[in-house]
Structure 1
Amino acid sequence: MEKISTRLQSDLYRLGIRKGDHLLIHSSLNALGRFPNRAETIVKVIIAFLGSEGTLLMPSLSYQTINKSQPIFNEQNTPSCVGGLTEFFRTYPGVKRSIHPTHSVCGIGGKADFLLNDHLKDETPCGPYSPFAKLPLVKGKVMFLGCGTRPNTSMHAVEEKFIPPYLFGEKIDHELQLSNGETLVKTYQRHGFKGFDQRYDRLFNVLEPRDYRIGKVLEAKSVVMESLAIWEKGILYLKQDPFYFVDRAN
């Protein structure tokens, strides 16, 4: 496992990750290769690599299971629906979770409280208080670990800033069961996208070479993007064409 750890640290460094960075990771655990205790190894190595001043974030989205017919979100028990690594991280000691029924984020490290604590204030998935919207404020980075760049939840936050016509759907009342024993009921507006497919891979068409790096992390083809660049270029191109980052569904 020492060989895996050393290689992982080297791969992170080549992709521009440094000690003290604030890193949001989208992932495919299987893309990393097969070795014992994969999720635990990845999480431990990255936390150590970032150091106590850095922050590791992963989405713990639950939009597949929390909906109109099952509107109850439990901070401690509602699982993540976006991969094995995110679900392992959700239950890792010391990790905190932002409060949102469908678009929560888990995190640990120096800026975790700042990035996570205010998400409850939002009434949409990725509003101004969400970790996705706050990441550029700390000059954070977004890593796509073996999953391609289409699952880019940060772009939802960009869209919420601009509000293209396809973005929002229905409003739903959700019950939020918090880890402190408190229960809240709150109305949220879900994302819509009816009739549209997301094409956030088009960021490659608009980002400057300095805004991202491409390489491998273990066996996983990976990309790291600067969150500030995602916001600046995303908003710029949505202003020019509100449908730039979607295709009409067949």
Structure 2
Amino acid sequence: MAEEHRSAESITKETLLQDLKRLAIDRAGTLLVHSSMKSIGPACGGPDAVLDALADYMRDGLLVLPTHTWAYVNKDGAEFRVADSLTCVGLLTERFRKRPGVFRSWHPTHSVAALGRDAESFVAGDERFPTPCARGSAWGRLLDRQATILLIGVDLTRNTFIHGIEEWADIPNRLADEPKQLYTIAPDGARIAAPVRGHTTPVWEHYGKVDELLQRKSVMRLGRFGHAETRVCDAAQMTTLLSAMLRVEPDLFLDDTPIDPGRYGGLV
């Protein structure tokens, strides 16, 4: 039976493990997952079966999911409660953050949750950074660890890591000039001031303009996980290519204008 025609009964933890193997994900590496549970299909065991497959596959590495709260922790005085604040980026992320052994970072708007090797140290200290994806935060540590980014049933518009690439390149007019005074409420109840200069320009709507290019340059490849189309991205290669393009054209993602190869001197 073709993968895209699997019945509900045939999507199981075991078949999802096989999918991850076919995607050639490094079991001992670092894997960031953005996901749409609906696109995966009705797996036997539901969301927990999906998370079980991801966790088991990555048991010798580090599994990371976003647990963002920017959709509602976004006004002066707003509080992010590490233990209780719901994620705004999907069902799997909310289930994942509550699992035994998972550590959540303390950034008030762009937290992540991690399970596995070095998970606690990976998420530590993010509340100290006044921007969403600082180079010293978990988002930058993904680059340090040469992570793989797996987009399950979602496209590049959901790839928060590209925000990091733009931030590290110091692209103008992407972040607010002045921070909002937010607060992180630690698991022990401590209230920590955590000001954040949030995103101001919806450039993520245009991240898809490099989809074909990333595939052609072997920075990203397509596959399947359950019923979902997936994109498997190399974080380090993506950073190298997009950083070079942003040096030529800082407003690369400001609109959907097609990429002009001649502008980049053979880079693309």
Q: Which runs of 5+ in 1 are unaligned?
A: none
Partner AA of 2:68 in structure 1: L
Match of 1:50 among 55, 58, 61: 58
| 1:130 and 2:134 matched | no
Match of 1:59 among 49, 66, 72: 66
Residues 125 and 48 (structure 1), Cα distance of their counterparts in 2 relative to 1, 3 Å cut = same
| 1:99 and 2:112 matched | no
TM-score relative to the length of structure 2: 0.86
Aligned counterpart, 2:40: 32
Match of 2:163 among 156, 159, 168: 156
Whether the aligned pair in 2 keeps the contact of 1:28 and 1:83 (CA below 8 Å) is: yes
User: In structure 1, how many angstroms separate the alpha carbons of the residues matched to 2:17 and 2:157?
Assistant: 25
The 10-residue stretch of structure 1 (231-240 or 201-210) with the greater mean CA deviation from structure 2: 201-210
Q: 1:7 is paired with a residue of what secondary structure?
A: helix
Match of 1:225 among 233, 236, 240: 233
Provide the aligned C-alpha RMSD in A.
2.0
- Which aligned pairs between 1:176-195 and structure 2 lie closer than 5 A? 176-193=184-201
Q: 1:144 is paired with a residue of what secondary structure?
A: strand
CA shift for structure 1 position 36:
4.2
User: In structure 2, how many angstroms separate the alpha carbons of the residues matched to 1:78 and 1:199?
Assistant: 29
User: In structure 2, how many angstroms separate the alpha carbons of the residues matched to 1:19 and 1:199?
Assistant: 31
Whether the aligned pair in 1 keeps the contact of 2:13 and 2:52 (CA below 8 Å) is: no
Aligned counterpart, 2:85: 78
Match of 1:166 among 141, 164, 173: 173
Partner AA of 1:13 in structure 2: K
Structure with more of its chain in strand, by fraction: 1
CA shift for structure 1 position 209:
4.2
Aligned-residue sequence identity (percent) comes to: 26
Aligned counterpart, 1:9: 17
Q: Which runs of 5+ in 2 are unaligned?
A: 1-8, 257-268
Aligned counterpart, 2:255: 247
User: In structure 2, how many angstroms separate the alpha carbons of the residues matched to 1:2 and 1:76?
Assistant: 35
Partner AA of 1:94 in structure 2: G
Aligned counterpart, 2:222: 214
Aligned counterpart, 1:143: 150
User: In structure 2, how many angstroms separate the alpha carbons of the residues matched to 1:216 and 1:237?
Assistant: 29
Q: Which has the larger radius of gyration?
A: 2
Partner AA of 1:61 in structure 2: H
| 1:115 and 2:122 matched | yes
Aligned counterpart, 2:205: 198
Whether the aligned pair in 1 keeps the contact of 2:11 and 2:44 (CA below 8 Å) is: no
CA shift for structure 1 position 70:
5.8
Aligned counterpart, 1:23: 31
Partner AA of 1:189 in structure 2: R
Per-residue CA deviations over 1:81-103 (Å, capped at 9, x if unaligned) read: 01101111111111111111110
Whether the aligned pair in 2 keeps the contact of 1:206 and 1:233 (CA below 8 Å) is: no
Per-residue CA deviations over 1:165-213 (Å, capped at 9, x if unaligned) read: 231124111121001232111322111106x563222333443543222
The alignment of Structure 1 onto Structure 2 pairs a total of residues equal to 247
The 10-residue stretch of structure 1 (199-208 or 67-76) with the greater mean CA deviation from structure 2: 199-208
